[in-house]
Structure 1
Amino acid sequence: MDLVLVFEVHQPFRLRRRFKGRLPYRYFDNQLNRKMLERVSYRCYLPANRIISEIIEESDGRFKVAFSISGLLLKQAEMWMPEVIDSFQILADTGCVEFIAQTYYHSLASIYKEKDEFRFQVKKHVDIMRKAFGIKPRILENTELIYSDSIGVEAESLGFEAVITEGAERVLNWRSPNYLYKAKDSSLRILTRNYRLSDDIGFRFSARDWVEYPLTADKYSEWIARSSGQYVLVFMDYETFGEHHPAETGIMDFLAWLPREAIKRGIRFLTPSQVIDEYHPVDEVEVPDSNPVSWADEERDLSAWIGNDMQRLCFNRIERLESIVKSSNDRGALEAWRMLQCSDLLYYQSVKGGGAGMVHMYFSPYESPYEAFARHMSALLDLEEYCEGEG
C-alpha cells in the first residue's frame, strides 16, 4: 500500500474591533496575528519541519510529504517569522517534498459567479510557489477542498494535471477514496482524501473517550497496510502537530515514528504527483455545480461558510464589492478586499450546533459568531464607503 501525506498550512488575518491605519491592514488585528503566528510556528511549523527533514535524511529519501501553503501564511511569515519560510525551503531542497497550488488568499473565489478572481488568485499562488521554492505546482487543492465539475474545468484550463478533494460518500457512492479518479469528460485526475483515516489523526488523536485511544504509529501503520486500493491519501491541517494537539499528547512523537513504522511494513510514501504518474484512473467522478463538495463538517458541502444568513450577507457583499474595488484603482483597497475573502472569516460566523459547532468555535478568535459577523461586515462596509469616496 502507498501512503500520501498532504498538510494544509494556513493562518488567516484576523479582524480588529476598531479599524485604524491605512489600507490594506486597516481592518486586521496584526498584534494578535503576529502572536498567533509566532505561537504556531514554535509549536508546530519549526519543530515539525525539523522532524520531517530528519526522517527524510534517515530514510534515504523514502519518506515523502506534500504541503499546500496559503499565500496569507507566507505573507505573515515574511512579515514576522521568515525562519518559517527558510525551514520550508530546506524541505524543498530535499527533493522529497511537493508543494501544491491553492488560492493565494484562501478564499471562496471558485464559487463566485465570475471566475476571473479565482484564476488571478491561483496564478498568484503559483507565482509565489515558484519564487519561494523554485517549483511550479502540478496539482491544485482548492480552498477547503471545495470541488465541482466547473472547478475541475477551471483547474484544467489553468494547466493543472490533478486536483485534491474530499472522498465523500455522496461523490464516490460505493467507491473507495483509495483509488485515482478522473473528472467527467476530462483528463484531469482527481485524488480523494480518506477522511476517516485523516480525521483519526486530525480530530481523534488526543480524544481519551475514543475506542482506539491511544493512537500509536505502529497501530496506524497497520491500518494503512491493511487498507485496500491503490493508495491512501491522508490530508489534514499541519497545525494538527503541536497546536491542535499539543506536544504533551505525543503527537510529535507520532509524526516522527509513523514513517519508520510504515516503512518497516513495506508501505511506500508517495507525493500526489507520483500518484498520478504511477496510477491510471479507475473511473470518473461527477460533482454537480449545484452541490459542491468540501471537507468541512458532516455535510461536506458549503454550509460551513455560507450556511446561514450572516454568512451569505458577507459572501454576497464580497462579490458585490469586486467591481467597486477594482474600478477604484486603489492597490491598498484591492489587497484589503482580497484579504477579507479568506474563508476563515466566514467560517467563524457559523451557528451550527453539536460537534461541528464546537469545531467552529475552537478555531474562532471571537466570543460568538455574531461578533465575527459584525467585524467582517463592518470591514466590508467601510471598504465600500472608502472606494466609493475615492471614485
Structure 2
Amino acid sequence: MRTICFYFQVHQPYRLKPYRFFDIGDDHHYWDDFSNRSIMRKVAQKCYLPMNALLLEMIHKYDGAFKVSFSMSGVYLDQLEAYAPDVLESFQKLVATGHCELLNETYAHTLAALKSKDEFQSMVKKHQEKIKKLFNGYQPKVFRNTELIYSDQIGAMVAEMGFDAILTEGAKHILGWKSPNYVYCNSIDPKLKVLLKNFQLSDDIAFRFGNKGWEDYPLTTDKFVKWINDVPEDEETINLFMDYETFGEHQWAETGIFEFMKALPEAVFSKTNFTFSTPSEVAAKIPPVGKIHVPIPISWADEERDLTAWLGNDLQDEAFDRLFEMEELVKSIDDDDIQRDWTYLQTSDHFYYMCTKFFSDGDIHAYFSPYESPYEAFINYMNVLSDFMIRVKEKISENKASQLN
C-alpha cells in the first residue's frame, strides 16, 4: 500500500479585546466580538467556503478515492455556530460523504497535556461531545493534540483514552536517519500508532507555494508528483499535514493554490502508484515498523519543532502557571460564564502572541498576533486573568456563604 494522507488543522481563537488595568474588577467581558466575527467571515470567504466546495467536488469526482481529514478545535466550532453557520453546514456535507475523517483534539486548543492530565482528558471529552452533537453522532478514532504536540507520555495518555492513532511532527532531531514515511508506535503503549508529518512536502505547499524567491517556484502538480515518485518504494505513507488556512488565506487564490489542489488527485492517480487515505485507514492498514522515542515534547512549530512558540520565556511561563494555578478552584464552580472563560483563556494562541523570537520565526509570530509586541500581549492577558481570578474567588465565597445559610 502506497498512500497519501491529507490532514488539515482548522482553528481560530477567541481573541481578547484591549483590556486595561482599570477594567479589572469592573468589566467581565473579555472577548473582542467584532474582531472574532470579522476575521471568521473574512477567512470563510477566502478559504473555508471555496475550499470546502472544491473538496466536495473532488470527493464526488473520484467517487470517494480522494480523501481528507480535519481537526477542528472546539473554540473554532463555537465560532462557526455563532458567526458562520454556512461554513459549518459545508463541513457537515463533507463529513456526510464518508470520505472525510474528523479527528479528536482538545476543545480549547489548549496546552493542558503539558500541565494537567485531568484537564487534558476533560478537554478531549468535551471536544468529543461537540463533534458528536454537530456531526450526527460522529466518534473520532484518531487524536491530534494541539499544534501536533507529542511526547511518549502524552501518547500514553492518548492510548489510555482508547484512540487508535495520534498525529505528530516528523521532527529531524527525533527521527535522525529514519523516514517519516512509515507508521510507528508509541514507546510506552505500542498499541497506539504514530503518524508523522512529512514536513518537507507539507511545507512545500503550506509555506513555499507562493514564494517567488524559492528555487523550485512555481510548484506544479508534475513537479510535486515527481517528488512523490522519488520516495523509496518501501516507504508506504506520505503524511501531508498543514493549516487549512493555507488555502486562500496564507496562500492567496492568486497564487494558483486552488488550481494546484484541484489538479493534484488526477496527477497522483495517473502518474503514481499512490492512493489517498484517511489517518484511521493508514493506522489500520499499515503495520508499525517500530517504536518512536520522544522523551521531550515536540511540535510542528518553528525551526526547533519544540514548545518555545508557546512556553519557555518568562512572559509565557508566568501567564501559563498563573492560569493553571486556578484549575482546582474553577472545577469546583458550577457557573457557565466562568467555565466558558476558563476554556477560552487556555487557548494556546494567547501564549503564542507572547513569544519573543527573532528572525524568520519571529516574523511568523508577528504576522499572526493582534498585538504590537509580546509584552503588550502579556500585559493584556494578565489584566484579564487578574479579573478572572477575582470572579473565581468571589464565586467560591458566594458558594460557601450559601452553604452556611
Task: For 2:84 and 2:24, locate their aligned partners in 1 and report how far apart those are by CA, in whole Å.
Answer: 22
**How far, CA to CA, are the matches of 1:333 and 1:86 in structure 2?**
29
1:361 aligns with 2:366: yes
- Listed as ranges, the gaps of 5+ residues in structure 1 are none
Q: Deviations over 1:112-159 (max 9, x none)?
A: 1x3111001101111111222232111100001001111111101111
Q: 1:256 to 1:245 in 2, by over 3 A?
A: same
Note if contact 1:140-1:162 (Cα within 8 Å) is conserved in structure 2. yes
Match of 1:29 in 2: 32
User: Is the Cα–Cα contact under 8 Å of residues 147 and 299 in structure 2 kept in the other structure?
Assistant: yes
- Partner amino acid for 2:63? D
Q: Between the two proteins, what is the percent identity of the paired residues? A: 45
Among 331, 343, 352, the residue aligned to 1:347: 352
State yes or no: 1:82 paired with 2:85: yes
Secondary structure at the aligned position of 2:123 is classed as helix
Match of 2:270 among 256, 264, 282: 264
Distance in 1, matches of 2:359 and 2:9, equals 25
Partner of 1:213: 217
Distance 2:220 2:312 in 1: 37
Deviations 1:8-48 (A, max 9, x none): 00000111013789999811101000000000011000000
| Equivalent position amino acid for 1:79 in 2 | A
**Secondary structure, counterpart of 2:349 in structure 1:** helix
For residue 280 of structure 2, the aligned residue among 257, 273, 277 is 273
Partner of 1:383: 388
Aligned equivalent of 1:254, options 257, 260, 273: 260
State the alpha-carbon separation in 2 of the partners of residues 22 and 33 from structure 1: 24
Distance 1:123 1:22 in 2: 32
Q: Deviations over 1:265-319 (max 9, x none)?
A: 232001111111111000101111xx20111111111111012110111110111
Indicate the residue corresponding to 1:172 in structure 2: 175
Give the match's secondary structure for 1:39: helix
Q: Which amino acid aligns with 2:389?
A: E
Secondary structure, counterpart of 1:357 in structure 2? helix
The answer as to 2:294 corresponding to 1:287 is: yes
Does the CA contact (< 8 Å) of 1:24 and 1:332 recur in 2? no
2:129 to 127, 130, 137: 127
Q: What's the counterpart of residue 71 of structure 1?
A: 74
**Whole-Å Cα distance in 1 between the matches of residues 3 and 373 of structure 2?**
42
The 1:389–1:349 alpha-carbon spacing in structure 2 relative to 1, beyond 3 Å, is same
Shift of 1:324: 2.5
Deviation at 1:172, TM superposition (A): 1.6
Gaps of 5+ in 2: 398-405
Give the superposition deviation at 1:203.
0.8
Provide closer, same or farther for how the CA distance between residues 248 and 21 of structure 1 changes in structure 2, counting only shifts above 3 A.
farther
Match of 2:197 among 193, 196, 202: 193
Which of the numbers 324, 327, 333 marks the counterpart of 2:329?
Answer: 324
Q: 1:66 touches 1:98 (CA, 8 Å); kept in 2?
A: yes
Partner Cα separation in structure 1 for residue 312 and residue 229 of structure 2 = 38
Q: Which moved more, 1:329-338 or 1:186-195?
A: 329-338
- 1:81-133 deviations in Å (ceiling 9; x for gaps): 10111000110111111001100110001001x31110011011111112222
1:191 Cα deviation (Å)? 0.3
CA gap of 1:233–1:25, structure 2 versus 1, over 3 A, is farther
TM-score (norm: length of structure 2): 0.93
- Counterpart of 1:8 in structure 2 is 9
What's 1:298 paired with?
A: 303
Structure (1 or 2) with the larger CA radius of gyration:
2
Q: CA RMSD in A?
A: 1.7
The match for 1:148 is 151
Choose which of 242, 246, 254 in structure 1 pairs with 2:248. 242
Take 2:102 and 2:364, find their aligned partners in 1: how far apart are those partners? 27
Q: 1:14–1:33: 8 Å Cα contact kept in structure 2?
A: yes
Residue in 2 that maps onto 1:118 = 120
TM-score, normalisation: structure 1: 0.96
2:30, 2:225 → 1: CA distance?
A: 45
Residue of structure 1 in register with 2:45 after alignment = 42
Matched, 1:108 2:114: no
In 2, distance between residues paired with 1:100 and 1:144? Answer: 13
Paired with 2:384 and 2:161, the residues of 1 have a C-alpha distance of 32
- Does the 8 Å CA contact 2:24/2:387 hold for their aligned counterparts? no
Q: Which whole-Å CA distance do the structure 2 matches of 1:240 and 1:324 have between them?
A: 39
Residues 45 and 21 from structure 1, CA distance in 2 versus in 1: closer, same or farther, beyond 3 angstroms?
A: farther
Note if contact 1:25-1:336 (Cα within 8 Å) is conserved in structure 2: no
How many angstroms apart in 1 are the aligned matches of 2:27 and 2:383? Answer: 15
For residues 23 and 203 of structure 1, do their structure 2 counterparts lie closer, same or farther at Cα, with a shift above 3 Å needed? Answer: farther
| Matched pairs, number | 388
